[in-house]
Structure 1
Amino acid sequence: MFRLLRAWDAERELSPADFQYILSPRDALSQARIFYEISSDHYHYPDNISCHDVPRRKSGNLSLFSAPDKRRQRGYADNVYDDTQRNIDEGWIIGIDTHAQWDNRRNPFYFDEDSNLVYDCFMDHYHEWFESEVRKAYEKCLNNHNGRKPAPTVKQAYYGDAPVQHAQAAKTINSKAAGRLLAAGGIYNGNIEGFHDTAQQLGGDAPAGYDQVMDNKGLIIAGASVAAGAMMGRIPVSELEELGKTIPNGATANKNGNLISELKDVTQKQLDKKFKHAIDFGVTSTKKNPETLGYFHDAIKSHMKDTDTFKLGTYGFVKDSNVFFNPNSNSAVVLGESGNFITGFKLDSTSAQYDNYIKNGILR
């Protein structure tokens, strides 16, 4: 179970082995927004809350798919959110989930073969205090346990042998993106058949995502070159993940988020007219007011900035329109010829509408 705790409490409440399950500041904040009340809107007197306190935990049945808290709009103070984010960034408050499997993309600490605590933030860069605060807490925790170091971290072989056991433990990770990543892993390791079996075990959209990569000659060639380059040393997983991303033929990739430049105008009138689709972009409130319309506007801009979003085809009901689709959320934003916002909504990946759009570039 995910939890937040202060670093100086971690030295007493955690065991030395628990420190490998500390989450990166990015992932800790992401989960804190779901499981904790980090918006000042939850508090009658937010100014009375200490800047170093852990915020209240939310009640009820929550999951990673529950709606996260959002910071108040710019221009409005949100001390609880800002203090929590700063404390997590600087390591004063840490996020941890000892029940989740260790993952090098989420857990920046691990124990090497000599049982020494190693910090490897992968391709990310966090505040220098984050590492130092965690290390100080670990050293005190280790001292409290008579210096007994834990066993080395058991690392999941995501890119080695086909991770069959991991597939069984992660049935929910069955998106096309997961399938594409498995295909890239199969190419990288020369174990295409094994990774194909794993995609089949995951079920859902994973097999289709796997087939997208195998059907794309360009990616197979790229994968072969990556495999050859392995003789010179292991490439970062982030590069392998990029390999796993595919877009349909004729689509324009959102390199560096530059597609946002095509969004020229979003009127209040159009936001109001299409607000029924706001939930498809993560706006959970059904109340239509200037604040929620602002959230909808921000969500559209985030969609356009997302580097996984691509530009493909037209909206059949509007002449000379352009469609911007994100395969992770299955949401599409439609802009007119002049870049004005027309509509946005989520597609059902099992529908004929979705298949027609991906194959033919026509959204109806």
Structure 2
Amino acid sequence: MSFSLPGSDLYYLPRDNLSPEKYEEIISPVFAWPKIDSKYIFDDSMHFGFQLINMQERAFNGYTNQLPPHGPQAREKLKNMIYHGEVVMLDGFSGSKGGLFYINEHGELICRDPLAFKFDGAQAVIREYTRSVARRDYSNKGGKPRPTALPERSSGIKQPAPLSTINSKAAGRLLAAGGIYNGNPEGFRQAAQQLGGDAPAGYDQMMSDQAKGLLIAGASVAVV
């Protein structure tokens, strides 16, 4: 929970001592700010509370004629802090973490898109992460925060179903028939070998003496 801002998903990094493992939940300012702007109203009048910004949640009670908020300065201040990496918003409800920041195997925080922030906002977040790590004891955890569990990425490109079955025995048998019909069995054999998989076996199966005789007879009838 933040001690500087309302809600449970906004944190002022220099003061709130956010846990290092929570940094992987930070979302991009371009997504965070519209959510904040629609959820809160701001007030420029003086306040003496603990909050960094004088703001409160909008009252969604069906009453549409509410007085407009009078906090353009407070609103702009928070927006700048969001884009400069001082204030961050967490997406704790998302199933995937590490979209903007992730922790690598060395315990370092990596930003995927530094241009999401203004100036050196990404570095400001990383500096606060480093300070947060230094304030904690990781002696029983290998001396560093655990890495972000990122989705596994396939090492190869999966072929579409029609292409993945082109090197089957059926393809080899078709090539054998084409080789006999066109009088070029060796050329079609090479084609089967190039396809690989079960294609050469299918080719050899059709080129057995019995099957070859049937194919030749069929081809002769077709010519007549």
| TM-score (structure 2 length as normaliser) | 0.51
Alignment of 1:106-255 (within 5 A): 107-121=99-113, 124-147=115-138, 148-157=143-152, 160=154, 189-190=157-158
Letter of the 2:10 counterpart: L
Deviation beyond 6 Å, 4+ runs, structure 1: none
> What CA distance in whole angstroms lies between the structure 2 residues aligned with 1:134 and 1:5?
11
- Does 2:14 align with 1:8? yes
Alignment of 1:327-346 (within 5 A): none
CA-to-aligned-CA distance 1:287-333 (integer Å, 9 cap, x gap): xxxxxxxxxxxxxxxxxxxxxxxxxxxxxxxxxxxxxxxxxxxxxxx
Name the counterpart of 2:77. 83
Which of structures 1 and 2 has the larger relative contact order (alpha carbons within 8 angstroms, sep 6+)?
2
Which structure's CA Rg is the greater one?
2
Letter of the 1:190 counterpart: K
Helix, strand or coil for the counterpart of 1:5?
strand
Number of aligned residues: 143
**Distance change (3 Å), C-alpha of 1:26 and 1:99:** same
CA shift, 1:55, in A, is: 4.8
> What CA distance in whole angstroms lies between the structure 2 residues aligned with 1:83 and 1:115?
32
Helix, strand or coil for the counterpart of 2:33?
helix
Letter of the 2:19 counterpart: S
CA-to-aligned-CA distance 1:133-188 (integer Å, 9 cap, x gap): 2122212211111254222111235x749xxxxxxxxxxxxxxxxxxxxxxxxxx9
> What CA distance in whole angstroms lies between the structure 1 residues aligned with 2:129 and 2:23?
7
Cα RMSD, aligned residues only: 3.7
Helix, strand or coil for the counterpart of 1:94?
strand
In structure 1, the gaps of 5 or more residues are 62-70, 162-187, 194-364
In structure 2, the gaps of 5 or more residues are 1-6, 61-67, 162-224
> What CA distance in whole angstroms lies between the structure 2 residues aligned with 1:55 and 1:77?
8
Letter of the 2:120 counterpart: W
**Distance change (3 Å), C-alpha of 1:15 and 1:90:** same
Quick one: percent identity of the two aligned structures?
Answer: 15
Q: Tell me, yes or no, if the aligned pair for 2:20 and 2:129 is still in contact at 8 Å.
A: yes
Name the counterpart of 2:92. 98
Letter of the 1:83 counterpart: K
Name the counterpart of 2:36. 32
- Does 2:31 align with 1:17? no
**Distance change (3 Å), C-alpha of 1:47 and 1:189:** farther
Name the counterpart of 2:52. 53
> What CA distance in whole angstroms lies between the structure 2 residues aligned with 1:98 and 1:24?
13
> What CA distance in whole angstroms lies between the structure 2 residues aligned with 1:79 and 1:22?
25
CA shift, 1:56, in A, is: 3.2
